Amino acid sequence: MLNFFKKKPTNFFSDDEKKLIVAAIQEAELNTSGEIRVFIENYCSYVNAIDRAEKIFEKHNMYHTQQRNAVLIYVALKDKQLAIYGDKGIHEKVGTNFWNERVKEILHFFNKNNYAEGIVNIIKQIGDALKHHFPYDKDTDVNELSDDILFGS
């Protein structure tokens, strides 16, 4: 087992990496009414990471965006599990294949131990899809969800 899995999730990323991830979320959300969140924990308490992501999505009221266009990037570090979960509005636009391709791409980065870079890259890609399907409207858009990284146990 690699050493980085012994650290608490909040200490997994350096302060600079955390800032890069949050900045990527903020930049992506400048161009869309969509919302992106990142949730990091050590262990996935579910067999299927998508089921866990759905539960976190619900717990953090991500279903309550006006256009149902929130996206959660979920990572369980010690269990080495990952899921990208999109709400109904964005999922209907991009489909399952879009999410599966993003997971493959992020795993490419993770396999090279480039975790923050992988998350930032995927945030940008998700932001582009959100921008395409849910463009920013200066008259109506508000930041409906915090841009901070969420950390579980």
Buried b / exposed e over 26-38, threshold 16 CB at 10 Å, is eebbebbbbbbbb
Domains of the chain, by residue range, sit at 12-151
Tell me, which fold does domain 12-151 have in CATH? Answer: Diaminopimelate Epimerase; Chain A, domain 1 (3.10.310)
pLDDT of residue 47: 86
pLDDT of residue 99: 96
pLDDT of residue 138: 84
Cα(147)–Cα(139) distance, rounded to whole angstroms? Answer: 20
Query: What is the mean pLDDT of each successive set of 10 residues along the chain, which is 153 residues long?
Result: 50 92 97 96 91 96 95 94 96 96 95 95 98 91 91 86
